[in-house]
Structures are given as structure tokens and as C-alpha cells.
Structure 1
């Protein structure tokens, strides 16, 4: 069974000190003052040397691929695990410690690295990787990953209306994306679009993947949305109006790809994103439990600490059970990562459903335990309840995840 090592516990303590010093003091500003998270994240990267490790790792990967250009079998494969040093345990600790205070931070860097940079890493040519990855892995540049549209949420591929049509050697992109994490501020955006060849029925068209830089003519990044939660993770719309793209912006620089079309790269990102939700949920649960234990000991009603009352004890016990269950899911994923494996899409969806529901239940119970204070934004459990609810929709609604679980069981 996986357990935190002494080194990982030391990293956890150091991260918790950073969060207490650099994130907690800005909690209200992040929630209500529209403070983007990126400079704090860059400071985090520099403080712990993540930027240096990532830059060194990606440089070595690209050098290896450069040397292996004539031998495709020697080319490095996979996502950003290697580019970030392959420290799965450290990544989980980073996620959960940030989520104890501001889960939106994880959405911001998680999408930039885990979806945006990973897609370029897994599908891009060497030239494309050299062009975009060094800035992304160090957070010098922020990435976005644009799949969802106003009329295509759960049916992201079938209902996609964003199109790319051939025009000589170029492509012309038209359409709109919405609910795009980092969309308002992203420097680099991975965009999925259907190839409009004028012949193939809309639902059957090939999905192509492009990389856009901010400021391209015809590419507009909307202002951040106002949301129920995840306020430290800016979300917005993207608009494409006759955006001309050279073939150098088509990932792989070909419409044919050894990994299939854009659907495959999107689905591979879903596993990492959904298992990541479990780590996010664990951070929320841990913080709610710690807050509630302290409050129950200190809050006196009818002459006794409320911790003396069995109904309060029941809430605390159920929170601990949720913590243990979600932590075990996270540990199982880390154990698999040590062997170079990852959960199936169905398993990742099951983890996402259970952990997001558990975090939401724990956070709502925390609000109830705090009573009137829990309903006030002055107390962090109010924010965590809103943020936990986001996890039930984030990375694909829980209802749709259940269909993936069922399909996995039925072999479909």
C-alpha cells in the first residue's frame, strides 16, 4: 500500500507553509477582488525550483527526441509526467495543499500543464514542442485547452460547431468555445475543431487540433465569467472569426496521426483530469475536517463544547471516513504510476464521481456544523462548499461519468 515517504511529508510541510504565507492572506482578494492566480503560481514554481526542474526535464526530453529524429521508435512518448520530473506524489501533494485554501489554483495550472502542454507533448512535432513547451512548463506562459462549446458540453464531439476549412496550405478557423479555463489570459491555446470538407456529414467529420497564440487576427479572448465557485481559476469564452492558421499550428502538421484524430488526444487527457479531481477533493476534505474539529472543540453551546454532542461527532466521523476512502483512491493511482500504469477511463470516471460527491457532502456538512457562521463568507467552509460543488461538474458532469463507468463494465 502506498504511503507518504518522509521526503513527501517534508514537501507537504513546506508547501503548507508557502500556502499559509502566500495564498491564505489573499483568499478574499482571490474570491472577490478578481486577482488572477498566475503571479502567485509563478512564485510557487520559483520557490520550490519547479520551474528549473521542468525546464531541465523538457530540455532533456527534446534533446533526446532531436537525436532520435531518424529513429521513430526511439522517440519519447507520453504526456507531461517526464517534463515535470515524474514526481507523481509531489504533484498530488501540491494539488491537495492548494485545494485546502483555493482549489481554483489547481484548475489554473492543471489545465495549462495537464491538458494544454500535455496535448502538445503527445501530438506535436519536434518543432512544435520546441516552440511552445519551454514557456508552458515553467509557467512563463499560461495555456488553455478549448473543447467545450455553448451547444456541446457533454456531447463535445458530436455537437461541435467550431470548424476549420482548408484554404491552400492554410486553414481558416471559425466558431466559439466556452467555459475555457485560463481562456481570458492564456498565452497559448489548444483548440479542437471539425474539418469542414464540404462533403462529410457534420457529426462524422474529423477532429483537428490547433495551437493558437494570443493576439492572432480574428482570435478574441473574452472577459472572465462570474461563477459560483473556483474564483481563482479564470474561465471565459473564445471567439474565432476567420482566423488564418498555417500548417505549423496543426498539431502533428498532418491531418493523419499515428494516435488517431483529435478525439483520442482529448480522451487521453480526460483520465489525468478526472483522477486529478480525486486529489483536489482530498484537499477540500482535509481542510474541512481540520476546520470542523477545531471549531467543534472551541464552540460552546448549552455550557458544553459542541464536540460533546453525538450528532456533531457523527458528522466528524463521516468526514474522516470520506477522507480515508478518497485518500485510498489517490494512493492506488500513485501505486499504479510507480509501475508506469494509469486507470482506465471508466476507473477514472468512477474516482471522479465518488470523490467529488464526497467532497461536496463533507463541505456542506462543514457549513452545517458551523451553523450561521458557516453561511458567512468570512469563514472558509463557505467558499469550500461552493468550490467542492464545482468538482461535480468540472472535468465532465457526474451524470456523464456514470455512463463511462457503465460502458466500461459492459465492454462498450
Structure 2
């Protein structure tokens, strides 16, 4: 793939029109005013029929699980149709992509991937259509990149179920989540903490002993509510154990979800890069200093040229990912991590240069480039930090 097709461009234009009409006018309230993003996201989902597509896919999967029909043969999906909205929304409010992706993709996807038939029918569909908000809770105050090694949250077997205790932080959608996939360690007597099984449970908001914090005040992606979860002796019956077994959704399942979480990072980065470059070119043409447009100065031209190089590189990475998806070819860990690492760094570099081109104006909210810069930073942290991507690339190469 070397360029967007006419169909892709048509979808892009429709999404861009929605963003300009529905999201941009409310951007300040979303980013700085504490407006929860879910009604806008639900409107987006309905406008583009994503809810109906999710229902059809859900019904097909359930029928297959029940044995009512044979599993459908795998057909190549057009990954571009899922990445284009990510790119277009990230041009203005990357946090919306994060909130939607964690709810529909991570939380709903985890239940559909590893849940029992009963769990899928009970919890998954409202998440996949965004009727309900989901959160995927793994990170803890003392953990980060070492998510499993530093995990303190526990599940202890009791009569009829489990008792859950622990504290999770930096949880996307945490303050407003209706359904939570809670990842913890199985508290087994005589088993050292580092050897304990990783297990997951499906929780509902309002359960006794479960507390959801107010949204954090963050550096960027204000349109994505982030908070903390506190669990004190939360009792859950066995039917909430994801997959129905302590071996169903352990380290492997969580790591697979990590990979899914990272897949859209390059598309988010591309949206930021495109918008930062677009605004910078416009400003360089209009801003006059020393009797001429600043775009006439070679130092500004160098910045713009480097920004375009980054845009082309990240776009080509996205195109390669789309083409491989079309052919059913998986990326190696080294390549996927390389894409995430480069795209995140490029988004940060380009948005920083955009602020520099705007000078003092770039530091002001009304010019928007400062928001792009703050939003870009999280791409180097969540979904695996830059440092962890380097390790993943090296380990895969040396394996």
C-alpha cells in the first residue's frame, strides 16, 4: 500500500467533517473542563454504524460458540477503516481515541477473547457498542513497566468465590467505568509472590468495597478520564473469574492485550504529526518578522522539512501495517515495537518543533500546538515506555 484509496479518502473526509462539527466546538470542555467524552463518542459510534457492526460480529461469535454455525473462514479485514478514525480524531483530541479504545477494544476485547460464553453474553456487547464504559485495570502505584513483578493486588479463594483487595492507578475510564477487568495475583498459601498465578475478574461499578476515584488532572489527553480504583474485601462469585479458570487469562492473555493496545499508537502519532505540520505551515506563511514571512527563513524551512520527513516515515509505517494486516501477516515483536518507538518519538519531536515555530504564541492554548505537544508525550509512556520498546526490540533480535 502506497496511498489511501478513494474509499479511504471518502471515509477520512466524513470522519474529519464529524470531528470538525461535533468535537472541535467542545474541545476546551473536553480537555480542560471535565466534560466526560462518552456521549460524543456514542454519537460517533452511531453515526458511522460501528454499533451495528459490533452487534453483527458479536452475534456471529456467540452463534459459533454455541455451535449453531461453523466458524467463519478468516477474511482479511481492511485495517485502514479502523485506523483512519484514530488518525483523524487524534489530530484534535487523542484522549477520545484512548477512552474509546480501552472501553471497546481492551475491555470488551478481553472478555470476547478469553471470557466464557456466559461472560460474553452478560458483559461484552454493551462494551463493544459503548452503551457501557469499560476499564482494564493492571497498573498499580508501585508498578509500571514491571506490571507483574510489582503487582500487590490479590484474589483469595473463599467459599463460593473470591475476596479481592488492591489498588490500581492510571486507569483509563476508571472514574466512570461500568465494567472493569481487574487483573491481580492469586493468593495461594505457600506460593511466593513472584510465582503466583495472574488472574482476572469482571467487576461492576457499585460493588461493595469497590471505590472509583474522581478523574486525575493530567499533563495531556484531558479528554480521556483517568483515575484510581480501590478494592477492600470485594466479594465476587466464581462466575466473574475471566475465562472460568485461574489458568484462562494469565500473563499471556494480558501480554496479548498489551500488543493490541500498542497497535494504534502509530496512527495516533500520525494524526498529531499531520496536524502539527499543517498548523506550522499555515503559520510560517502568515507570520511576518523582519519584513518577511518566517517561512522564508532557512531555519524555519529546516524544521518544516524535518517534520515532513517524520510524517512520511510514520505514514509509511502505518501503510505497511495495513498491508500486512490485509495479507494476514503478523509483525514481529521487533518490528511492532520499532514502529511504536519511532512513531511516539516522532510525534513528540514534531509537536515540540511546532511550538518552537509559533514562538510565544505556541505556548498559548488558543493556537492548539501546545496541546498537541502535551498529548504526544503520553505516546512515549503508555502502551510500553520507550525504554521497554528498546528492550523488546533487542531481545527479539537476539533471540
Q: Which moved more, 1:25-34 or 1:362-371?
A: 25-34
Counterparts of 1:396-407 in structure 2 under 5 Å? Answer: 396-407=384-395
Give the Cα–Cα distance (whole angstroms) in 2 for the partners of residues 181 and 24 of structure 1: 22
Counterparts of 1:173-212 in structure 2 under 5 Å? Answer: 173-212=164-203
The answer to whether the aligner puts 1:123 opposite 2:114 as a matched pair is yes
The answer to whether the aligner puts 1:291 opposite 2:282 as a matched pair is no
Give the Cα–Cα distance (whole angstroms) in 2 for the partners of residues 335 and 272 of structure 1: 17
Partner residue, 1:9:
9
Q: Report the secondary structure of 1:115's partner residue.
A: helix
Given that 2:78 and 2:322 are in contact with CA atoms closer than 8 Å, whether structure 1 keeps it comes out as: no
Shift of 1:345: 3.0
User: Which of the residues 345, 358, 361 maps onto 1:373?
Assistant: 361
Q: Report the secondary structure of 2:318's partner residue.
A: helix
Give the Cα–Cα distance (whole angstroms) in 1 for the partners of residues 127 and 170 of structure 2: 21
The answer to whether the aligner puts 1:410 opposite 2:398 as a matched pair is yes
Summarize deviations over 1:269-306 as a string: whole Å, max 9, x none: 12222221111000000000111111111111112111
The answer to whether the aligner puts 1:319 opposite 2:310 as a matched pair is no
- State the TM-score, normalized to the length of structure 2: 0.97
Given that 1:143 and 1:182 are in contact with CA atoms closer than 8 Å, whether structure 2 keeps it comes out as: yes
Summarize deviations over 1:232-291 as a string: whole Å, max 9, x none: 00100001111111111111111233xxx5111111112222221111000000000111
Given that 2:77 and 2:326 are in contact with CA atoms closer than 8 Å, whether structure 1 keeps it comes out as: no
Given that 1:164 and 1:173 are in contact with CA atoms closer than 8 Å, whether structure 2 keeps it comes out as: yes
Partner residue, 1:22:
22
Give the Cα–Cα distance (whole angstroms) in 2 for the partners of residues 51 and 336 of structure 1: 26
Partner residue, 2:33:
33
Please, which runs of 5 or more residues in structure 1 have no aligned partner?
none
Q: How many residues align?
A: 399
Change (3 A) 1:196 1:4: same
Q: Which moved more, 1:171-180 or 1:397-406?
A: 397-406
Please, which runs of 5 or more residues in structure 2 have no aligned partner?
none
Partner residue, 2:99:
108
Given that 2:285 and 2:293 are in contact with CA atoms closer than 8 Å, whether structure 1 keeps it comes out as: yes
Shift of 1:194: 0.3
Shift of 1:340: 2.1
Given that 1:2 and 1:334 are in contact with CA atoms closer than 8 Å, whether structure 2 keeps it comes out as: no
Give the Cα–Cα distance (whole angstroms) in 1 for the partners of residues 209 and 158 of structure 2: 16
CA RMSD in angstroms, aligned pairs only: 1.7
Given that 1:271 and 1:343 are in contact with CA atoms closer than 8 Å, whether structure 2 keeps it comes out as: no
Partner residue, 2:123:
132
Given that 1:188 and 1:214 are in contact with CA atoms closer than 8 Å, whether structure 2 keeps it comes out as: yes
- State the TM-score, normalized to the length of structure 1: 0.94
The answer to whether the aligner puts 1:45 opposite 2:45 as a matched pair is yes
